[in-house]
Structure 1
Amino acid sequence: MTAARKINPWLKAALEFGPLVLFFLVFSRFRDHAVTLGGREYSGFILATLIFIPVLAASTLALWRLTGRLAPMQIATLVLVVVFGGLSVWLNDPKFFKMKPTIIYLIFAGLLGLSLALRRNWLELVMSEALPMRAEGWRILTLRMALLFLGLAVANELVWRLMSETAWVNFKTFGLPAVMVAFFVLNARLFERYAQPKDP
């Protein structure tokens, strides 16, 4: 497997999180206004989705051109954003875009669960360069991440179905990334315990 080319970490962060921040800013600006495009009226949420789709596609392409690699989650996210975001814009219905995180988290929970059942370390194939660990460590992390993704799928469904649109956007923009960061921080001891011994 070819190693990804290194790029400036600030540029990488801007390309990865910039589209989400832009979505939040556009939604915040237009959430109380209807916008007419092509003779059709759209909510601020749909407008933010319409802008988010091409920006995410451009940033993902830029990451691929700069690093020479995309993570499976980045590819899956782009495909689902285009499909479900496109449906939301086309049908002028925000629920399709709100369902996207649920679907992607269920897909990844299912894949990780399948990898455990088959005794395959698929997570190691994706993350081994960043987190060199022994096989037992990868099995534990795979189980924990499968449960995390399952929990996030349930949380997303509860938030978008039971709470306001603004609450969902805040959850998507700030809550989900914070949960992922907290997950890896809380697993720091696991990474240390099962770390591969360094070459002398």
Structure 2
Amino acid sequence: MTEKAEKKVNGWVRAALEYGPIIAFFVGYVRLKDRVFTIGGTEYSGFILVTAAFVPLMILTTLAMWRLTGRLSKMQVATVVLVTVFGGLSVWLNDERFFKMKPTMIYLLFAGLLGLGLMRGQSWLKAVLGEHLPMAEEGWMILTKRFTLFFLALAAANEGVWRLMSTDAWVNFKTFGLPVAMFAFLMLQSRLFQKYGTGTDE
């Protein structure tokens, strides 16, 4: 599944599939956050109902991405699995804390995998992004180290926000803070890309 050449997909379609579920979660939460629903004799907050809708939506958009591109990265697969597990636990146990932990688990997993590759003298980040970002091996090792530390920082930030702040603050952090942090991090790597970029796939 991940070894096939990726098919070209319209940029707007890709963006809709990647960010659509996150935007839908935010909109749903804003509309339902103050409501309580009784289903089968059990009361569920709006957060739990939105989570219950987010999980299948995430699965469907990931499957659509696979059908359109012919492949999924290991990170995409890991993300949808963790969303399903932690989102499912939140709904099943009627406890929003599990879903709030999900970004922490995702970033710790990514940091752990990249760190394991570094311990073996390899950049596993290159295996995921190499065909889209031609760069010398030394550059990939530096970028992988930086990404490992960045993912650890995001995991710590997520834990701090959901444990110490309100659900509103966490939803805003997840919807806007994390993407902005990722964008800013990538922008800060511009010198690295310029210094080690090869211009052609190795």
Q: Same fold (TM over 0.5)?
A: yes
Cα distance in 2 for partners of 1:36, 1:29 equals 17
**Structure 1 residues 170-189: aligned runs within 5 Å:** 170-189=172-191
Give the aligned partner of residue 143 of structure 1.
Answer: 145
Query: How far apart, CA to CA, are the structure 2 residues paired with 1:37 and 1:49?
Result: 15
When the two chains are superposed, the root-mean-square deviation of aligned CA atoms in Å is: 1.1
Q: Deviations over 1:149-184 (max 9, x none)?
A: 000000000000000000000000110011111111
Query: 5+ unaligned residues in a row in structure 2: which ranges?
Result: none
What's the offset of the Cα at 1:121? 1.9
2:168 to 152, 155, 166: 166
Q: 1:114 aligns with which of 109, 113, 116?
A: 116
1:147 Cα shift?
0.2
1:114 to partner: Cα distance: 1.1
Cα deviation, residue 197, structure 1: 4.4
Unaligned runs of 5+ in 1: none
The alignment covers a number of residue pairs equal to 199
User: Which range is displaced more, 28-37 or 160-169?
Assistant: 28-37
SS of 1:36's equivalent in the other structure is strand
Residue 70 of structure 2 corresponds to 68
Q: Please, what TM-score do these two structures have when normalized by structure 1?
A: 0.97
- Give 2:144's aligned amino acid: T
AA aligned to 1:76 is A
1:41 aligns with 43
DSSP 3-state at the match of 1:3: coil
Q: Specify which of 126, 129, 136 is matched with residue 127 of structure 1.
A: 129
How far 1:38 moved relative to its partner?
3.1
C-alpha spacing 1:32/1:197, structure 2 compared with 1 (3 Å):
closer
Q: In the TM superposition, what whole-angstrom CA distance separates every residue of 1:106-159 from its partner, at most 9, and x where no partner exists?
A: 111111111111001211111011110000000000000000000000000000
**Offset of residue 188 of structure 1:** 1.1
Describe the SS at the equivalent of 2:9.
Answer: coil
2:117–2:124 contact (8 Å) kept in structure 1: yes
